[in-house]
């Protein structure tokens, strides 16, 4: 292995996940942390740790000079960004390269092109992948925008090009709401992402959110590891993910996975990544939405079905080595579901920071838990509210759902509020179990 020491530019469960794989590969790790995360588990599990600033993310986990300095003083030769924070930041990737560090992710050109939601759609269309053609907002007058939207037809989605994780997005059902929403989203996008570029696309009324896991290297190898269904969402933020998608026919599954491979080949992708689609259940058609040039929160469901360590393959690809897999080597076994356990009020969904008095994680056959919390841990108000991911695997979807019910009921977190009972409601819901739902599932169920 080319890398001797990897700095993990992240926190929480993904930092722990990366550290564990590095240890199995014989690679030393450096954890960076804010002052608020001094006692975090990812700091304790790494070989070394460096404090990079105060609790506020812009002063620590988004502080590029501090992270690069930590890499220099510890002698790291590569940086793994995890997901969120700087994971899709082309300037960070460029600075790593300038400092002689390997950025564990795709080449900078891919980050730049596929990270732009407007440009990526144009590229996808050229690659022969079906797309919902967007309307660019910036540079158009209010009159032009209103005219274009009326021609497209309501409802539509207004999206921030630099957005992600459900942020910077708003559904419009009334034309009178359009311009004021655009103004608000521009302000929010500029503040949150440093880019106020917006676009508008047609809203599919009965969609599933389906994504395909891609794995590539610098030698032309491009593979898919099947698809995931991420349809259960709240405010465009994923809540439950599963693999395989239970409503795709084998013919459509093959088409959507192959289209992701062709797109990755077209852009010379050379890392682990995800191609996301909207699947129109009424028309049995799929449309490219975006490409995530990083590891995904929900990657464990793919790992559980295939037995492939995606973090390891990401590191191997970044090192310049050839992946040891061919498409024929990827075997899919059973069904897997992931529930994101968050620190939030189950009624208002407001974050619920504070001290965890007692924590008991579930266990048993087919149960995996990716977490970073423990009894006595103080949940910070400064970061994402996700505490843990409960992933279960079974021989089929029914066994998987029953196993998840058991695992959720075994999960105990005292001292703060969580969304555990929301997950129990979802898993037991007749429409969810019967596959009679779309991305508005929780909107309908939580009325």
- The whole-angstrom separation of Cα 196 and Cα 191 is 8
Residue 78 pLDDT > 90, yes or no? yes
Count up the domains in the chain and report the number. 3
Q: What is the DSSP string of 376-422?
A: T-EE-TTS--EEEEEEEEESSHHHHHHHHHHHHHH-EEESS--SHHH
Domain CATH for 94: 3.40.50.20
pLDDT over 90 percentage in the chain: 90
pLDDT band at 115 (very low <50, low <70, confident <90, very high): confident
Same domain for 145 and 226? no
- The confidence score (pLDDT) of residue 166 equals 67
Same domain for 424 and 393? yes
Residue 202 pLDDT > 90, yes or no? no
- The confidence score (pLDDT) of residue 204 equals 87
Give me the domain span that covers residue 181.
Answer: 133-202
116 in a structural domain: no
> Which candidate in 11, 17, 294, 305 is catalytic?
294
Same domain for 395 and 381? yes
110 in a structural domain: no
Final residue in a domain of this structure, among 58, 84, 104: 104
pLDDT digits (tens, 9 = 90+) for 213-246: 999 999 999 999 999 999 999 988 999 999 999 9
Nearest 5°: CA angle at 22, between 382 and 387?
A: 30
Report how many helices (DSSP H) and strands (DSSP E) the chain contains, helices first. Answer: 15, 21
In the numeric block, the tokens 């990079």 are attached to 52
Instruction: Read off the pLDDT of each residue in 190-194 and give the average, rounded to a whole number.
Output: 82
Contact in structure between 381 and 311 (CB atoms under 8 Å): no
Same domain for 56 and 142? no
- The confidence score (pLDDT) of residue 334 equals 98
Distances from the Cα of 303 to the Cαs of 252, 263, 280, 406, in angstroms?
22, 22, 27, 21
Instruction: Read off the pLDDT of each residue in 432-446 and give the average, rounded to a whole number.
Output: 95
125 in a structural domain: no
- The confidence score (pLDDT) of residue 165 equals 63
Which residues sit opposite 53 in a β-bridge?
Answer: 34
In this structure, the number of other CB atoms found within 10 A of the CB of residue 311 comes to 24
- The whole-angstrom separation of Cα 239 and Cα 422 is 10
Active site residue 253: no
- Average pLDDT over the chain reads 95
Contact in structure between 320 and 342 (CB atoms under 8 Å): no
């Amino acid at each position: 292995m080319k890398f001797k020491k990897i700095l993990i530019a992240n926190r929480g469960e993904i930092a722990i996940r990366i550290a564990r794989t590095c240890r199995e590969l014989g690679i030393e790790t450096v954890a960076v942390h804010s002052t608020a995360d001094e006692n975090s588990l990812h700091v304790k599990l790494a070989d070394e740790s460096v404090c990079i600033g105060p609790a506020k993310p812009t002063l620590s986990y988004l502080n590029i000079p501090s992270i690069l300095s930590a890499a220099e003083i510890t002698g790291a030769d590569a940086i793994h960004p995890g997901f969120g924070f700087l994971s899709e930041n082309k300037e960070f990737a460029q600075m790593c390269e300038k400092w002689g560090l390997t950025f564990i992710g795709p080449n900078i050109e891919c980050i730049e092109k596929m990270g732009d939601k407007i440009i990526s759609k144009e590229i996808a269309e050229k690659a022969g992948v079906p797309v919902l053609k967007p309307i660019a907002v910036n540079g158009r007058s209010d009159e032009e925008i209103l005219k274009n939207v009326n021609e497209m037809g309501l409802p539509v989605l207004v999206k921030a090009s630099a957005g992600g994780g459900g942020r910077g997005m708003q559904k419009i059902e009334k034309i009178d709401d359009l311009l004021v929403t655009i103004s608000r989203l521009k302000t929010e996008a500029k503040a949150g992402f440093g880019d106020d570029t917006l676009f508008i696309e047609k809203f599919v009324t009965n969609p599933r959110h389906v994504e395909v896991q891609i794995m590539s290297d610098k030698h032309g190898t491009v593979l898919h590891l099947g698809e995931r269904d991420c349809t259960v969402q709240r405010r465009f933020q994923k809540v439950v993910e599963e693999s395989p998608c239970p409503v795709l026919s084998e013919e459509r599954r093959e088409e959507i996975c192959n289209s992701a491979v062709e797109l990755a080949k077209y852009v010379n992708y050379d890392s682990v990544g995800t191609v996301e689609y909207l699947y129109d259940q009424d028309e049995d058609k799929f449309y490219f939405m975006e490409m995530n040039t990083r590891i995904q929160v929900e990657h464990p469901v793919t790992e559980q079905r295939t037995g492939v360590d995606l973090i390891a393959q990401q590191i191997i690809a970044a090192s310049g080595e050839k992946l040891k897999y061919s498409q024929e080597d990827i075997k899919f076994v059973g069904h897997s579901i992931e529930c994101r356990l968050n620190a939030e009020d189950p009624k208002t969904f407001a974050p619920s920071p504070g001290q965890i008095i007692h924590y008991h994680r579930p266990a048993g056959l087919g149960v995996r838990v990716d977490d970073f919390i423990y009894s006595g841990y103080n949940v910070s108000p400064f970061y994402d509210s996700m505490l843990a991911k409960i992933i279960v695997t079974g021989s089929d979807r029914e066994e998987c759902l029953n196993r998840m019910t058991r695992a959720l009921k075994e999960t105990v977190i005292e001292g703060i509020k969580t969304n555990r009972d929301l997950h129990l409601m979802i898993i037991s819901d007749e429409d969810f179990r019967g596959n009679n739902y779309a991305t508005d599932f929780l909107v309908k169920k939580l009325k």
